[in-house]
Amino acid sequence: MALALALLAPPAAASMPIAHSTPSPPGANVVTVPAAVAPPTEVRASDRPNDNGGAVILDWQLSADDRPQHGLVTGYEILRAPAPAGPYRLLGRVEPGTSHFVDIFAGRGKPFYYQVAALAGTTRGPARPVGPAVATAQWFNHRRLNMLAFAVLLAAAILFGIRSARRGALPRLRELPGVGAVEAAIALARERNRPVLFITGSEDLNDIQTLAGLSVLKEVAGRTAAEDVPLRVPHMHSLVMTAAGDTLEEGRAAAGKPAPVDPDENFYLCDEQFGLVAGAGGIMYRERPAACFYFGSFYAEALALGEIGQTVGAVQIAGTGQASQLPFLLATCDHVLIGEELFAASALLSRDPAQLGCVRGQDLVKLLAIGLIGLGCLLATLAQVTGWGPLIPAWDTLRSLFRTG
Partner 1 sequence: MSLVAAVPRGIVLVVAIVLIVAMFVPPLEPLREEFSLFFNIIAAFAFVLGGASLIGRHARKIRRRASGYGYSVVCIGAFGITLAAGLLKLGNPTGIGGDVTARGSVFAWIVRYVFGPADSGLFALLAFFIASAAFRAFRVRNRESTIMLVTAFLLLLGRTFLGGLVTSWLPDRLEAFELPNVIPWIMSVPLKAGSRAILIGVAVGAIATSLRIILGIDRPYRGEGK
Partner 2 sequence: MVQLGRWAVMNVTGRRCIYLGMLLAVTVPMIWRISFKEHPTPMVRDIFATIEKLPKNARVLFVCDFDPASAAETRPMEDAFARHLCLRGVGLYCLTLWPTGPIEIDRTIRDVIALEFPSYRYGQNFVNLGYMSGNEAVVAVALTNFKKAFSTDVHNISTHDASRLPMMVPIEDLASFDLIVDVSAGYPGLNEWIPYGAIPAGVPIVGGSVAVGSPEIFPYIPEQCGGILVGVKGAAEYEQLLLEQYPQLDRPECRIALERMGPQTVAHLMIIGLILLGNGIHLWRRHKEAAA
Query: Residues 115-144: x/- map of binding to partner 2 (CB under 8 A)?
Result: ------------------------------
Strands 41-47 and 56-61: antiparallel
Can you give 41-108 as a three-state secondary structure string? EEEEEEECCCCECCCEEEEEECCCCCCCCCCCCCEEEEEEECCCCCCCEEEEEECCCCCEEEECCCCE
**Minimum Å distance from CB 104 to partner 2?**
6
Choose from partner 2, partner 1, none: what does 188 bind? Cβ within 5-8 Å by kind.
none
Binding flag, residue 328, partner 1 (CB under 8 A) = yes
Question: For partner 2, which stretch binds (CB under 8 A), given 2-10, 121-129, 165-173, 370-378?
Answer: 2-10
Binding flag, residue 264, partner 1 (CB under 8 A) = yes
Q: Which residues are 119's β-sheet partners?
A: 75, 124
> Contacts with partner 1 in 369-398 (CB under 8 A)?
369
Question: Closer CB to partner 2, residue 16 or residue 30?
Answer: 16
Binding flag, residue 403, partner 1 (CB under 8 A) = no
Query: Residues 73-112: x/- map of binding to partner 2 (CB under 8 A)?
Result: -------------------xxxx------x-x--------
Closest Cα to residue 187, out of 290, 313, 336? 290
Cα 318 to Cα 158, 213, 326, 380: the distances in Å are: 25, 10, 9, 38
Binding flag, residue 215, partner 1 (CB under 8 A) = yes
Binding flag, residue 300, partner 2 (CB under 8 A) = yes
CA distance 201 to 318: 10
Start-to-end CA distance of the chain, whole Å, equals 28
**Minimum Å distance from CB 373 to partner 2?**
13
Question: For partner 1, which stretch binds (CB under 8 A), given 35-43, 56-64, 88-96, 150-158?
Answer: 150-158
Query: Residues 149-188: x/- map of binding to partner 2 (CB under 8 A)?
Result: ----------------------------------------
Binding flag, residue 316, partner 1 (CB under 8 A) = no
Question: Closer CB to partner 2, residue 95 or residue 175?
Answer: 95
**Minimum Å distance from CB 108 to partner 1?**
9
Q: Own/partner pairs for 95-98, CB < 8 Å, 24+ apart?
A: 96/66, 96/68, 97/62, 97/66, 97/68
Q: Say how many C-beta atoms besides its own lie within 10 A of residue 54's C-beta.
A: 20
> Contacts with partner 1 in 329-348 (CB under 8 A)?
330-332, 338-340, 342-344, 346
**Minimum Å distance from CB 277 to partner 2?**
11
Closest Cα to residue 219, out of 177, 185, 183? 183
Closest Cα to residue 212, out of 302, 322, 330? 322
Count residues near partner 1 (CB under 8 A). 85
The most distant pair of C-alpha atoms in the chain lies apart, rounded to whole Å, by 94
Question: For partner 1, which stretch binds (CB under 8 A), given 31-39, 73-81, 183-191, 321-329?
Answer: 321-329
Choose from partner 2, partner 1, none: what does 369 bind? Cβ within 5-8 Å by kind.
partner 1
Of positions 150, 160, 267, 299, contacts partner 2 by CB under 8 A: 299
Can you give 242-267 as a three-state secondary structure string? HHHHHHHHHHHHHCCCCCCCCCCCEE
Q: Say how many C-beta atoms besides its own lie within 10 A of residue 312's C-beta.
A: 19
Phi-psi region of 57 (alpha: psi -120 to 50; beta: other; left: phi over 0): beta
Which amino acid is located at 268 in the chain?
Y
Burial bucket for residue 376 (CB in 10 Å: 0-12, 13-18, 19+): middle
Rule CB under 8 A: which residues touch partner 2?
1-3, 6-7, 17, 19-20, 55, 92-95, 102, 104, 203, 273-274, 299-300, 311, 323-325, 405
